[in-house]
Structure 1
């Protein structure tokens, strides 16, 4: 059994605790926004449509800031995670049904992360994809033991270190191949170019606004700040720190995502064979040299390792909150690896699997987002920290946009036009 007999050390808040020391949970949640699914969707977008869909990433990142702040604030103010609260309010049947869809989303997330890490190991060391997937699973388990045995703060430090590697890996190529300013400006104008671009936009949205990160962030925030509600002044300070934490983390994640699309648009636009991560990597090597290719692959590996650890953490949080079932992370890690390893062993196109997994994630967003909006707008639950009218309007607009895009995606899929 993985869990230690001792509880992780609690972080005691003091009035003089600096703002910087209170940051961290959002950077763990932000890993979900730079996982291998993002790589596949963003590279495909840039290589296929150039700068056309830059606006999708900008809009998605703004929505992500809003959503993650609400999730973290819910955890800090109530002392409970989003799955905890839903588990208390749903009937037994409702809890189980909600858990099924949340678990499918978590499985799609884990699929993308393990496959992406396996691709990176194949690019770096020519390892077979199933072997790479097993290595990614094993290393992610080692990362999870840091959180389990040493507490959340050291785990945050490890994840932030990997986030720095991811940032360098995915943005280094822009130094040698800067994007076209006019193209970037044109890409900020909302528009599509046929049904396939809408399908890809839905995948990009699913890769950017992540349901499991919404569930997880509330848990990370309440565990990181267990004494936040000890005094009104301290709660106000932690809520403020949470806001800055989210803004800083999501600006970084957004820059990485947009940078990937810009790199593909400036380097891979019109190049044959860039509809897969392997092909895009080969084109990057041909255009920018082997050093940039290695840096990119290392960034992809860091992305897979960090995001699959965070994904397993999120899955355990969802199960515990909704079903009141707590299983060892090691057991969950092994079970969640099976679909990804099976897919890799069957030889299914891994990049295609990554993109499809992001589309699955986009369908799970409303199930996480609508309850979150209702709860953070509840004055009885949130007190003076309930969402104000501007925040509620912006959040509602986000829900309408996401649901509308998914309706269009369903129509395109079943009409045979996508």
Structure 2
């Protein structure tokens, strides 16, 4: 374990301290960006971080709400998925801008701005969120192994611990290999759901209408609650820390024009990647609506139930297999980004560096131990409830990441000429307030209803 020397207290363009330790130091500025050439050639150099971020928007924790929403209410809640995605696009663009302009990730920015006790509490909350996210990935991967290969859930949970070897292998080869692996898994998920949509033959008119907001969502309490679940669990708090760091893996020109260009390309990268996440999340809900809602199976909410019902309802032997493969790819994908986010927040808040395998093992054990205990005691039903609990924890932490992000990017002293424009500033604060209100309502409903 290494601890960096404390930074000298010095005023530096609105920041209190100079940066002595780069974010993700081993890969910081490791990918060269061509300063000339065509627009698409330069854009190609920035493609990658957005897809690592998009993984958090399609992890196993999001599947249950989409399945439940589709089976109960058909295509109606597609508009909620669309709105959630638009909110995510804005927040991730702000996260990338913070990293590019300040040379800090969100954790380092919080440490610089807030007092040590506040920074420490923010770190604790973020670590809880990462552990909760990892818990969802462990359960999702274990369920997928159980469905595809009939491996008992307890053994599946334990098997997920070995993915640390895969992560170490990719990290040793270089950051581009991690990005390529993630993109390949996202493509696998997209192909699987593309096949599922073809087999399910959804009603095109209903899908189009579903993307239009409906007053029925507000008037129906059950529909509203699931809608809030989709909204509240869509933006993952660790993604904001992650994105502000991994955009700095590019060796771009640090001049004003160079930063402006980097912000533009990084925003395009994350926006395109999040639109792909929108397709996948919408596909889960459309599949659930077409397969379950139209056939009268309106109570399907568990991932296992969806898997077992797909084949007989769609009349195809590969529907369930595609669903399971996509779930396994989703779980594996999310483990990579969770590990990186854990490293970023620990180094950023505490300036403590751990070897990647130690960091991964600690995070994984925090997730595996409760998953094993609950699986042994309560079986499949218990893992479903644990999955819901993980999303509640994520929702609880979200505002503690969103509010500092909006605050920093709206501060002219910290951002200079790149400060949020008035319309962006007020839109970002509206989104932050909306997320706060929705998550308070969601938590209240979870614990008291």
State the TM-score, normalizing by the size of structure 1: 0.92
Offset of 1:146 from its aligned partner?
Answer: 3.9
Name which of structure 1's ranges 359-368 and 142-151 shifts more when overlaid on structure 2. Answer: 142-151
From 157, 168, 172, give the equivalent of 2:191.
168
Larger Rg belongs to: 2
Q: Please name the residue that 1:267 is paired with.
A: 291
Offset of 1:194 from its aligned partner?
Answer: 4.1
Structure 2 residue runs of 5 or longer lacking an equivalent are 2-24
- Partners of 1:353 and 1:197 in 2: how far apart? 22
Q: Please name the residue that 1:59 is paired with.
A: 83
Offset of 1:124 from its aligned partner?
Answer: 0.6
From 237, 243, 246, give the equivalent of 1:220.
246
Cα distance change on mapping 1:281 and 1:329 into 2, 3 Å = same
Name which of structure 1's ranges 336-345 and 59-68 shifts more when overlaid on structure 2. Answer: 336-345
Determine helix, strand or coil for the equivalent of 2:187: helix
- Partners of 1:84 and 1:228 in 2: how far apart? 20
For 1:7-18, list aligned pairs within 5 A.
Answer: 7-8=26-27, 10-16=30-36, 18=42
Q: Please name the residue that 2:15 is paired with.
A: none
Offset of 1:328 from its aligned partner?
Answer: 2.5
- Partners of 1:344 and 1:142 in 2: how far apart? 24
Q: Please name the residue that 1:369 is paired with.
A: 402
- Partners of 1:286 and 1:193 in 2: how far apart? 34
Determine helix, strand or coil for the equivalent of 2:353: coil
Q: Please name the residue that 2:271 is paired with.
A: 247
For 1:192-211, list aligned pairs within 5 A.
Answer: 192=218, 194-211=220-237
From 70, 80, 85, give the equivalent of 2:94.
70
Q: Please name the residue that 2:419 is paired with.
A: 386
- Partners of 2:76 and 2:207 in 1: how far apart? 8
The answer as to whether partners of 1:106 and 1:311 remain within 8 angstroms in 2 is yes
The answer as to whether partners of 1:366 and 1:399 remain within 8 angstroms in 2 is yes
Cα distance change on mapping 1:87 and 1:339 into 2, 3 Å = farther
Offset of 1:177 from its aligned partner?
Answer: 1.6
Name which of structure 1's ranges 343-352 and 40-49 shifts more when overlaid on structure 2. Answer: 343-352
1:320 maps onto 2:380 in alignment = no
Structure 1 residue runs of 5 or longer lacking an equivalent are none
Q: Please name the residue that 2:323 is paired with.
A: 296
Q: Please name the residue that 1:152 is paired with.
A: 175
Aligned residues: 409
- Partners of 2:437 and 2:70 in 1: how far apart? 23
Runs of 4+ aligned residues of structure 1 deviating over 6 Å after TM superposition are: none
Name which of structure 1's ranges 97-106 and 268-277 shifts more when overlaid on structure 2. Answer: 268-277
Cα distance change on mapping 1:310 and 1:61 into 2, 3 Å = same
Offset of 1:94 from its aligned partner?
Answer: 1.0
Q: Please name the residue that 1:31 is paired with.
A: 55
- Partners of 2:400 and 2:165 in 1: how far apart? 31
- Partners of 1:209 and 1:244 in 2: how far apart? 18
Q: Deviations over 1:54-77 (max 9, x none)?
A: 121111000000011111111111
Cα distance change on mapping 1:234 and 1:67 into 2, 3 Å = same
Cα distance change on mapping 1:207 and 1:371 into 2, 3 Å = same
Q: Deviations over 1:108-161 (max 9, x none)?
A: 11111110011001011000112112222312x133214431221111011100
